[in-house]
Amino acid sequence: MLLVIKDREYVRVRDLGDHFGVSDVTVRADLDLLTARGQIHRVRGGAIPRLGARQELPFEDNFASHADEKTAIGQAAAALVRDGETVLFDVGTTASAAARELVARTELRDVVAFTNGLKTALALEPAIPRITVVVLGGTLRPLQHSLVDPLATLILRQISVKTVFLGCSGIDPVGGITNINLPEAEIKRRMLECAQRKIVLADGGKLGLVEVARLCSVDDIDMLITGRSADPSIVKTLREQGCEVVVAG
- Beta bridge pairs of residue 165: 89, 199
* pLDDT level of residue 35 (50, 70, 90 thresholds): confident
Residues contacting residue 227 through CB under 8 Å, at least 6 positions apart? 66, 68, 69, 70, 72, 73, 203, 204, 247, 248, 249
In this prediction, residue 61 carries a pLDDT of: 55
Q: Residue 66 — φ and ψ, nearest 5°? A: 55, 40
149 with 32, same domain? Answer: no
Residues 45 and 144 in one domain: no
CATH of the domain at 243: 3.40.50.1360
Give per-residue pLDDT as tens, 192-248: 999 999 999 999 999 999 888 899 999 999 999 999 999 999 999 999 999 999 999
Same domain, 159 and 40: no
Distance CA 88, CA 191 (A): 8
Shared-domain flag, residues 108 and 167: yes
Q: What is the pLDDT of residue 48?
A: 75
Last residue of a domain, one of 49, 69, 87: 49
The arithmetic mean of pLDDT across residues 103-120, rounded, is 97
pLDDT digits (tens, 9 = 90+) for 162-200: 999 999 999 999 999 999 888 789 899 999 999 999 999
**By residue range, what is the domain housing residue 45?**
2-49
Q: Which ranges of 194-228 would DSSP assign to H, the alpha helix?
A: none
* Amino acid at the residue 1: M
| Structural domain contains residue 126 | yes
Do residues 73 and 136 both lie within one domain?
yes
Task: Indicate if 181 and 93 belong to the same structural domain.
Answer: yes
Identify the band that residue 7 occupies on the pLDDT scale cut at 50, 70 and 90: low
The verdict on 203 and 86 lying in the same domain is yes
- Shared domain for 17 and 106, answered yes or no, is no
pLDDT in the model for residue 42: 73
Helix (H, G, I), strand (E, B) or coil at 120: helix
CATH of the domain at 27: 1.10.10
Q: Is residue 39 part of a domain?
A: yes
Same domain, 66 and 181: yes
52: pLDDT strictly greater than 60? no
Examine the domain organization and report whether 158 and 71 are in the same domain. Answer: yes
Of 153, 151, 205, the closest CA to residue 180 belongs to 205
Say yes or no: 238 and 132 in one domain.
Answer: yes
* pTM confidence score: 0.77
